[in-house]
Structure 1
């Protein structure tokens, strides 16, 4: 979208050139833990800005179909090539789409946001929240890994975030907080700068 500022060179060039410092090279540890403890809702799940897609793959199973969304054609092609032969490959898919304009045929029961919210300038964040409300089923859950709570920049992503920034956007849109806690399983370089928020979209009365 024209009003959303991309990093210098754009997301596509960052993937082409391998400038993907946010990529852990594996599934996010807290996501692995939530899957292993059966702590995630089943149904349809979405990972916007999914990057390589490790989280998409680890979350996918016969009870949970996961869609990974990316703007970068290079990223989507890479993910499909890396993961298409896995045993659970029929339970996930990767799409090159713009989160802000994409219109899926069905809504989702779970949305996982990591390194996505922090990619947007504060003035764009209300659009992010509105889309989360539109894409999630009533009673569905939004998981936000809040990073960076310190550090970050006023310039290109990642932009600094805060718990209050999420609360001010989501609570007026009928989201209620399930929990917001420190992410004890954050990678070493992100310790103390990351919380995990779990939000439920209220059901219509």
Structure 2
């Protein structure tokens, strides 16, 4: 069975789970338990690794970072290790968070990373808990499009003035119906972030597998 066929089959199975699940927590937990995780490539996203190493963006030198929908925590570990930020990985799946904790255990960044079972949309915006950096890859495209306005509002609520938001915009494939993953375009992010955020960086992916379907865009909160 080819990797592409396997991913396609997993996407179809994932959509069945979302459609039949009693709620988001139930559906995503079942997906993780059953290994229906077509987005999980077993390592951090190359585009993120390249970005934090490249010097193309001036990242905060200290503070807190958030990775909603963190899965097994690969990207949270990269942010912590390369940017030395106190990084919170968050997922509504207990299985995903347990896997993330096992992955980070005994690493040289363990003291900088914590993982929580929590709902991003229920986060409280207390001043002492605001973030200097947020990273979103397969979170925006996983939520139903009707929730995107709430996504934009919550990003604004939980970020400090001057904070950065890294978005790996994927899958850019027109306005295909159905999901997850739901179709996205850069303007979908702009529309819901509004005038509270400005775009400061944009780059096409170097991943040949997703050439033309994925971009890295970084935003700064004004």
Partner of residue 3, structure 1: none
Matches within 5 A, 1:17-166: 17-38=34-55, 39=57, 40-42=59-61, 43-61=63-81, 63-103=84-124, 105-150=128-173, 153-166=176-189
> C-alpha separation between the residues in 1 aligned to 2:28 and 2:174?
21
> C-alpha separation between the residues in 2 aligned to 1:54 and 1:152?
29
SS in 2 for 1:76: helix
SS in 1 for 2:48: helix
TM-score (norm 2): 0.81
TM-score (norm 1): 0.88
Count of equivalent residues: 194
Instruction: Identify the structure with the greater helix proportion.
Output: 2
Which of the pair has the greater relative contact order for Cα pairs under 8 Å at 6+ separation? 1
User: Are the equivalent residues in 2 in contact too, given 1:152–1:158 (CA < 8 A)?
Assistant: no
> C-alpha separation between the residues in 1 aligned to 2:174 and 2:103?
32
Residue by residue over 1:159-200, the C-alpha shift from the partner in whole angstroms, topping out at 9 and shown as x without a partner, is 00011111111123x1111123312x23x3322101111111
User: Are the equivalent residues in 2 in contact too, given 1:7–1:156 (CA < 8 A)?
Assistant: no
Shift of 1:153: 4.7
When the two chains are superposed, the root-mean-square deviation of aligned CA atoms in Å is 1.8
Residue by residue over 1:61-113, the C-alpha shift from the partner in whole angstroms, topping out at 9 and shown as x without a partner, is 48311111100001101111121111110000110000000226510000010
User: Are the equivalent residues in 2 in contact too, given 1:65–1:91 (CA < 8 A)?
Assistant: yes
- Counterpart selection for 2:212 from 189, 192, 201: 192
Shift of 1:151: 6.4
- Please say which of residues 120-129 and 13-22 is displaced more in the overlay: 120-129
